[in-house]
Amino acid sequence: MSFIDMLNENQNHIIPDKYKKMDRIVMEKRVREIKKILGEDLFIPGHHYQKDEVIQFADVTGDSLQLAQVSAHNKNAKYIVFCGVHFMAETADILTGPDQQVLLPDLRAGCSMADMANIHQTERAWEELQLLFDDTIIPLTYVNSTAAIKAFVGKNGGATVTSSNAQTMIKWAFKQKERILFLPDQHLGRNTAYDIGIPLSEMAIWDPIENQLIYDGNLKNLRVILWKGHCSVHAKFTTKNIVEVREKHPDMNIIVHPECSRDVVALSDDNGSTKYIIDTLDAAKDGTEWAIGTEMNLVNRLIKQHPKKHIISLNPYMCPCLTMNRIDVEHLLWNLECIIDNAPINRIQVDSATAKNAILALNRMLQKA
Ligand code: 13P
Ligand code: SF4
């Protein structure tokens, strides 16, 4: 079932009015009380893009890879209240036991990139690509994809990747087959393949709307087929932003997430996952200057955590990821109170047939990561 179908079917996404009127201090106190009451039965993972008001309650924070790893290791919690987006909660459900419930505080917390590849488009693309290249392709999917896509990839011998391990996984994929189909983020795929030495002339784009392969040169030379998807948040960083920063702040280091376009990554000084960006800023000397090209909640947190470093957003007019931002303290409290009332809501449950294949793709990644 797609995220939109699930949202339409599930009416629990409308928060009761009482939470909108509640005082913030009261809500935070109540969240703390419930965390104490539930103890080890409750586990709250939080992605680095979550708001501060939510991240303060996370038992663990991390990038997509770390959150997948902690979900796989946690065997105790009955309730995993996932503060992140839908595909992350699906991944957690696939990696946890049948007695563990994964709950998403606001069902509207989707990911526009994950929605850019659906299973019907993917199956149709695969058929066409098999006709063009026979059995020489392996599919890889960024974890920012639906469970159905992960299952498709698992069934066809491929693996998931995150921005932390994309190089390792692409190298692994090339040991299996001559070519890769990389879903759904063309930018992470292109940036990573380029970094391991694949020229742009050996990469093509698969357009799922037109159902066609777009490339220059010789079809037989193609090695990486990039799905035409992108992150609408990282698309807001441009080469113009880089030129302006370089002009105004010649000593500034520019670090971006690899979901940014090839041109932006090429002009930056460094790129990496959210964890990589955090680690780099932690290790930087006081007095150094940084322009960061990633989601705004994280950039603002880094600015607060490093008052002795000069940190700005690469795009001064950036806003947060709107779907990540759906999770707020109101929805977190509502979700926790429903658990206390023995009526948990917003459970994310991947059907067993899908989970069985998706876990193949996830495990191939987790064994390498
Ligand atoms: P990472 O935290 O794995 O770098 O992913 C970024 C992202 O866009 C998650 O949606
Ligand atoms: Fe999706 Fe981009 Fe938001 Fe990450 S930042 S959840 S990829 S829309």
Q: pTM, whole model, 2 decimals?
A: 0.95
Render each residue's pLDDT in the chain as its tens digit; 369 residues.
Answer: 555 556 556 556 689 999 989 999 999 999 999 999 999 999 999 999 999 999 999 999 999 989 989 988 999 999 999 999 999 999 999 999 999 999 999 999 999 999 999 999 999 999 999 999 999 999 999 999 999 999 999 999 999 999 999 999 999 999 999 999 999 999 999 999 999 999 999 999 999 999 999 999 899 999 999 999 999 999 999 999 999 999 999 999 999 999 999 999 999 999 999 999 999 999 999 999 999 999 999 999 999 999 999 999 999 999 899 999 999 999 999 999 999 999 999 999 999 999 999 999 999 999 987
Say if 3-111+323-351 and 234-313 have the same CATH topology: yes
255 lines ligand 2 (CB under 6 A): no
**Number of residues that make up the chain:** 369
From the list 146, 157, 154, the residue with the least C-alpha distance to 179 is 157
What's the pLDDT score for residue 135? 96
Residue entry with tokens 């990486």: 224
> Which residue's alpha carbon is at the smallest distance from atom 2 of ligand 1?
63
SS3 assignment, position 339: helix
SS3 assignment, position 13: helix
> Which residue's alpha carbon is at the smallest distance from atom 3 of ligand 2?
321
Torsion angles phi and psi, residue 160, rounded to 5: -85, 165
> Which residue's alpha carbon is at the smallest distance from atom 10 of ligand 1?
144
50 lines ligand 1 (CB under 6 A): no
CATH 3.40.50.10800 fits 114-231, yes or no: yes
Tokens of 148: 């159905």
CA 119/CA 2 separation, integer angstroms: 9
Q: Which ligand is nearest to the CA of 47?
A: 1
Give me the helix-helix angle, 296-305 and 274-283, nearest 10°: 20
64 lines ligand 1 (CB under 6 A): yes
What's the pLDDT score for residue 6? 60
Which string of DSSP letters, residue by residue, matches 67-91? HHHHHHH--S-SEEE-BS-HHHHHH
232 lines ligand 2 (CB under 6 A): yes
pLDDT tens digit sequence for 194-236: 999 999 999 999 999 999 999 998 999 999 999 999 999 999 9
What's the pLDDT score for residue 294? 98
Q: Are 129 and 205 in contact (CB under 8 A)?
A: no
Q: Which ligand is nearest to the CA of 63?
A: 1
Q: Are 176 and 157 in contact (CB under 8 A)?
A: yes
231 lines ligand 2 (CB under 6 A): yes
CA of 257 to the centre of ligand 1 (A): 8
85 CA: nearest ligand 2 atom: 6
CA of 76 to the centre of ligand 2 (A): 29
> Which residue's alpha carbon is at the smallest distance from atom 3 of ligand 1?
64
144 CA: nearest ligand 2 atom: 7
Q: What is the dihedral of CA 44, 48, 49, 52, to 10 degrees?
A: 70
CA of 95 to the centre of ligand 2 (A): 21
Residue entry with tokens 């960024």: 142
Looking at domain 234-313, what is its CATH homologous superfamily?
NadA-like (3.40.50.10800)
Residue of 60, 163, 298 with the most ligand 1 atoms within 8 Å of its CB, for mutation: 163
pLDDT tens digit sequence for 81-94: 999 999 999 999 99
111 lines ligand 2 (CB under 6 A): yes
> Which residue's alpha carbon is at the smallest distance from atom 1 of ligand 2?
111
Q: Which ligand is nearest to the CA of 116?
A: 2
CA of 43 to the centre of ligand 2 (A): 23
Q: What is the dihedral of CA 303, 307, 310, 312, to 10 degrees?
A: 20
Residues 83-119 as b/e (b if ≥16 CB within 10 A, e otherwise) read bbbbbbbbbbbbbbeeebbbbbbbbbbbbbbbbbbbb
Which sequence spans correspond to the domains of the chain?
A: 3-111+323-351, 114-231, 234-313
> Which residue's alpha carbon is at the smallest distance from atom 2 of ligand 2?
231
Q: Which ligand is nearest to the CA of 276?
A: 1
Give me the helix-helix angle, 86-95 and 64-73, nearest 10°: 30
Best CATH choice for the domain 3-111+323-351 from the list 3.40.50.10800, 3.30.420.40, 3.40.50.300, 3.10.180.10: 3.40.50.10800
Q: Are 137 and 225 in contact (CB under 8 A)?
A: yes
